[in-house]
Amino acid sequence: MKAVIFPGQGAQFVGMGKGLYEQSELARTLFQSANKILNFDITALMFEGTEDDLKRTSVTQPAIYIHSVIAALVNGLDKSANMAAGHSLGEFSALAVAGALSFEAGLSLVSIRANAMQKACDLAQSTMAAILGMEDEVVEAVCREIYSTTGEIVVPANYNSPGQLVISGSKEGIVSAIALAQQKGAKRALELSVNGAFHSPFMEPARLELAEGIEKTAIINARIPVYQNVTAMPHTSGEEIKHNLLLQLTAPVKWTQSVKQMLADGATEFVESGPGKVLVGLVKKVDRAIPTANVE
């Protein structure tokens, strides 16, 4: 059984999607449609912009969504996939390819999400850190201890793979959590170069703004199960999908749990669609023997 997976923010690169545009009429049509929906030439920024252009959240998230979905459609993954999942932003790509959202509706939501997250980031001094080589339960305990002793919010944000958990929180809370994790034996604990605490209570203003967009969007039953970040379980019901999307911005990404569940449900290969190969690398950390591939 084929599991198709879609990357989140951070996978972007200059020139992303250009090969698809040059080789496929379908890709050209969808890229041109994306420019109209967003009301700016995102195609030019993806193909010829600078790294700084692509780092802007309002560009990064739509660019990764566009590239990921078009790569999947051009390669027929919407027809060959048996299940799908996406990491954070990538969940919107998964839902589009699974037929729960149209390409256009998904892109509109991603654009709302990107702008809302940027505004939420500007409201508070917050950040994220990666904790490596430590059991999830110990990292969770570190987060609770920081909150109970300092009152600073620090929470698990991305369960990426066994021994790799990203945490989110206030600037001061993250600095304290890094020190405590190192003290408790983490192999590495380092602050990430991000401008906010994604998948944490700091994203509540963005969640409220995105909720308006989601409520107005037609989300229908998916053709194949989508393993959503919030539950790490398969969903096809449009209503369930909508409910879980509403929770996603402030809840942790249960990626490790999702991969394990897909394997338990019969996944025999994983194909990453879109820029980069980060997710297939994380899958290999869960099961080294599972076949993986990627399409760009």
Can you say how many angstroms the Cα of residue 60 is from the centroid of all Cα atoms in its chain?
12
Active site residue 235: no
- The C-alpha atoms of residue 174 and residue 171 are separated, in whole angstroms, by 5
**What residue type is 249 in one-letter code?**
L
Considering 67, 68, 87, 88, which one is annotated as catalytic?
A: 88
Altogether, the residues listed in the chain come to a count of 296
Residue by residue, what is the 3-state secondary structure of 191-260?
ECCCCCCCCCHHHHHHHHHHHHHHHHCCCCCCCCCEECCCCCCEECCHHHHHHHHHHHCCCCECHHHHHH
Active site residue 199: yes
CA atoms within 13 A on the CB side of 47: 13
Can you say how many angstroms the Cα of residue 254 is from the centroid of all Cα atoms in its chain?
11
Considering 199, 200, 258, 273, which one is annotated as catalytic?
A: 199
Structure-token pair, residue 138: 């110990």
Question: Which residues are known to be catalytic?
Answer: 88, 199
